[in-house]
Amino acid sequence: MPTIDLGYTPRPAFRPFHMRTENRACLVCHRRAGKTVALIADMVDNALRCPKPNGRFQLLAPLHKQVKDIAWTYLKDMTAAILTRTVNESELWVALPSRAGTPVRVRLYGTDVNPDALRGLYSDGMALDEYADMNPAIWDSVVLPALADRGGYLVVSGTPRGYNAFYKRYQESLRDERWYSLLLKASQSAVLSADTLVDLAREMPPGKYAQEMECDFTQAATAQFVPTELVEKAMVRLGQADARMPRVLGVDVARFGDDASVLVTRRGRVVEALQRFTKRDLVTLANEVMKWADSVRPQMIYVDGAGVGGGVVDYLSGAGYPVRDVQVGGRADDRVRYLNKRAELWGEMREWLATAQFQLPDDEMNILCADLLGPAYSYTMSGQTALERKQDMKNRGLASPDAGDALALTFFERLAPRGLRSADMAEDAEAMEDVW
């Protein structure tokens, strides 16, 4: 095949991306970096080199209008020099010659228009542009099946939108050698002039600038309930649990098929253990909790008793274990500040995190930290804090924060340490503060 000039000169920041050998890539880029142009150029180049017959390449974006107004223009301009191409304006595809001798098709999709039509695709290469704004359900229902048959490449790209599905892919790209990873900040890319960046920083809200131009995932979650800094410090803070403090357990009982029941053990400022149980019936789960309670002798066990959790409460109570039925959907004690009990428990936990310690293995540590950072919050018309619902988090592509909820349950009440008299407490203000 003769050499074809696409009329594209890659910006220096994207040259390593075009030279990558990994089959998957994640591009976290600031606004106006030129990532969509780079994605189209990369896709056209791969399509022209495709050795398989009837090659298929797709670029997906959140909105049909978006992909038609922007990416479609890039695709047509970049392939204009290919005289044998075929262009379909209504379906947004071009057919190009390939090494296999059969036409290869590059097509653009908006995931907002008839998403069911995306099912059944096969792909030799796929790019997800602005993945943070897409319904994360397409990952399992469209993306992975499409790539499976022919081992196609995948590029996930976008600008941060908080701790959502895009953040998860970026974190995966940092850990997995199969991924190429690029984090491109405006202050480092040299794409925009220093004067332009100064003007943008002056005109944009600080958090928005950090998100859009400096690719800051933490700033994107302006409604993130637990600050990232609190969790990061708890991960590295050293110390031992105060033996005077009561040991308590929190049990979040799974309600959905993908969720896990979680048992968290806390003593004062220290999270001592985290255990996850999947596909356990109520009796089996109750037995697991009782077995652990026999081992660590907690002063109290707090169970989310709403729905199926009530059965676990009944089993533990009937067996003589100290247990509290916590109705997280019920009224908060502080009804001025919080919409319901769950929001209030998370509020108490957030304050406690300022001096907390996580003494957990890495896997359990990562689970807990992700759960704590996941939920967002909002305010009601009355000014009460409302914590994001689990289902709404799933709609953002995040897992249910089961471990975070289990830990929050342990803040249902303040317990006096065993054997500590009220007079002793009056004399020991520090102990009073540490009762959590």
Q: Does residue 204 share a domain with residue 63?
A: yes
Residue 1 domain flag: no
Residue 91 domain flag: yes
Q: Does residue 356 share a domain with residue 233?
A: yes
Residue 2 domain flag: no
Residue 182 domain flag: yes
Q: Does residue 37 share a domain with residue 173?
A: yes
Q: Which of 220, 255, 285 is the last residue of a domain?
A: 220
Q: Does residue 259 share a domain with residue 192?
A: no
Q: Does residue 259 share a domain with residue 378?
A: yes
The CATH number of whichever domain residue 104 belongs to comes to 3.40.50.300
Q: Which of 197, 220, 243 is the last residue of a domain?
A: 220
Q: Does residue 250 share a domain with residue 381?
A: yes
The CATH number of whichever domain residue 370 belongs to comes to 3.30.420.240
- Decide: helix, strand or coil at residue 204: coil
Q: Which of 376, 378, 375 is nearest to 399 (CA)?
A: 375
Q: Does residue 196 share a domain with residue 180?
A: yes
Q: Does residue 74 share a domain with residue 183?
A: yes
Q: Does residue 250 share a domain with residue 212?
A: no
Rg (CA), the chain: 26
Residue 17 domain flag: yes
Residue 3 domain flag: no
Q: Does residue 233 share a domain with residue 111?
A: no
Q: Does residue 337 share a domain with residue 258?
A: yes
Residue 7 domain flag: no
Global model pTM greater than 0.85: no
Cβ atoms of residues 309 and 409 within 8 Å: no
Residue 134 domain flag: yes
* Pairing of the two strands 125-128 and 153-158: parallel
pLDDT of residue 431: 47
Burial bucket for residue 270 (CB in 10 Å: 0-12, 13-18, 19+): buried
Cβ atoms of residues 174 and 76 within 8 Å: no
Q: Does residue 73 share a domain with residue 57?
A: yes
Instruction: From first to last of the 436 residues of the chain, give the pLDDT tens digit.
Output: 567 888 999 999 999 999 999 999 999 999 999 999 999 999 999 999 999 999 999 999 998 988 999 999 999 999 999 999 999 999 999 999 998 889 999 999 999 877 777 888 999 999 999 998 888 878 988 999 999 999 999 999 999 988 778 998 999 999 999 999 999 999 999 999 999 999 999 998 888 899 999 999 876 555 789 988 899 999 999 888 899 999 999 999 997 656 789 999 999 999 999 999 998 999 999 999 999 999 999 999 999 999 899 999 999 999 999 999 999 999 999 998 899 999 999 999 999 999 999 999 988 998 999 999 999 988 787 778 899 999 888 877 788 999 999 999 999 999 987 666 554 544 454 444 455 6
Which residues lie below 8 Å from residue 237, measured CB to CB, with a gap of 6+? Answer: 355, 356, 357, 358
State the total domains in the chain. Answer: 2
Q: Which of 153, 187, 220 is the last residue of a domain?
A: 220
| CA distances (Å), origin 147, targets 75, 130, 404 | 22, 19, 34
pLDDT of residue 394: 83
Range of the domain at 113: 12-220
